[in-house]
Amino acid sequence: MDWQTLLNRERLGKTLHSPEELGRSPFHKDHDRIIFSGAFRRLGRKTQVHPVSSNDHIHTRLTHSLEVSCVGRSLGMRVGETLRSALPEWCDPSDLGMVVQSAFLSRGICS
């Protein structure tokens, strides 16, 4: 795999700020775009479990997506540690964790 191509810091569209502004990587900015999107917030109005359940512990799809994305971040960081020597010089294992976390959040919007 060509990690240099897969983990690209360049984004489409107009860039208003420097890539590493305020210590936020492009991957963190992508994650924030998902969190602040209307489509993601709408997941709070969709139940993950049928509302006529016998217990009162009902998850929304928003809660489920957030929980699953945290697991994804941990897995991504562990894989990043394993692949550290193959990753681009500028890429940190936490960046890979953020990419996986964002992918898991996006999956909630699409399903």
Is residue 22 in a domain? no
Is residue 65 in a domain? yes
What is the total count of domains within the chain? 1
Is residue 80 in a domain? yes
Is residue 2 in a domain? no
Select, from the ranges 5-14, 22-31, 54-63, 66-75, the one with the highest average predicted confidence (pLDDT): 66-75
Residue listed under structure tokens 């217990």: 55
Q: What is the mean pLDDT of residues 44-57?
A: 69
Provide the CA 9 distance to its chain's centre, in angstroms. Answer: 15
| Structural domain harbouring 76 | 35-50+58-111
CATH number for the domain that contains residue 44: 1.10.3210.10
Is residue 72 in a domain? yes
Q: How far apart are CA 99 and CA 77, in angstroms?
A: 9
3-state secondary structure (DSSP) of residue 59: coil
Is residue 75 in a domain? yes
Mention every residue, 6+ apart, whose C-beta is less than 8 A from residue 43.
Answer: 60, 61, 62, 65, 108, 109
Is residue 97 in a domain? yes
Is the per-residue pLDDT at 53 higher than 80? no
Binned at pLDDT 50, 70 and 90, residue 52 comes out as low
Q: By percentage, how much of the chain surpasses pLDDT 90?
A: 37
- Cβ contact 9:90 at 8 Å: yes
Is residue 71 in a domain? yes
Mention every residue, 6+ apart, whose C-beta is less than 8 A from residue 38.
Answer: none
pLDDT of residue 111: 63
Q: How far apart are CA 37 and CA 30, in angstroms?
A: 11
Mean predicted lDDT score pLDDT of the chain: 82
